[in-house]
Amino acid sequence: MRVSKAQAQANRTLIVETASQLFRERGYDGVGVADLMAAAGFTHGGFYKHFGSKADLMAESAACGIAKTLERSQDLSAQQFFDLYLTRQHRDTRDQGCTLSALGGDAARQPEALKTIFADAIEALLTALARDEAQEAGEQQRARLIGQLAQAVGAIVLSRACPDDSPLADEILSACRSLQHDGNR
């Protein structure tokens, strides 16, 4: 039975969203095409009807995850964004959280096309965070926001590297939240 164009697009969207979650949870090398397609409710053979390669899906799913982060942050000030970002809830829901903190290390080892998606995402997030902060000169503001974003992403990565019940995992998040507040005074 033939699938309509609308259904094929819906299937592709489901595969991309599923991949976005699984890649954030397990990393790019931790998810095989067969596992991914099964999680999305499809057979392995259908993958190549939608994507030329796993790398193509990695790029599209990264863009999807990043778009969700930008969407969730659109009505937040920079301070509100960092307050929500630097939480145990974000740390513990890797599959639902920020693609930058979940896959930044993996992306560094991937082809330039995927790195470009991450670079574009960082630019878009910096633009979103800067929208309500006109008090500083452009270069100073950008440098501060780059530092804050790098610190927040790094804090999530370091906190996740600690055992789940480690007091240090929470201390990292708390210390960086405090520093974020101090930096905005």
Residue 177 pLDDT: 94
Model pLDDT, residue 181: 82
Residue 47 amino acid letter: F
Asked if 11 and 3 count as a contact pair (C-beta separation under 8 A), the reply is: yes
Pick the closest to residue 57 from 99, 94, 13 (CA basis). 13
Mean pLDDT of all residues in the chain? 92
Q: How far is CA 67 from CA 20, 75, 99, 102, 143, in A?
A: 11, 14, 9, 14, 23
User: Could you report the per-residue pLDDT of 102-134, keeping only the tens digit for each?
Assistant: 999 999 999 999 999 999 999 999 999 888 665
137 has pLDDT over 70: no
Q: 5-183 has which CATH code?
A: 1.10.357.10
pLDDT of residue 184: 57
- For 9-23, 117-131, 156-170, 171-185, which range has the lowest pLDDT when averaged over its residues? 171-185
Provide the sign of the torsion angle of the four alpha carbons 114, 118, 119, 120, taken in this order: positive
Name the pLDDT band for 23 (thresholds 50, 70, 90): very high
Q: With 60 as the cut, is the pLDDT of residue 166 above it?
A: yes
pLDDT, residue 113, reads 93
The pLDDT score that the predictor gives to residue 171 is: 97
Q: Measure the CA–CA gap between 90 and 79, rounded to whole angstroms.
A: 16
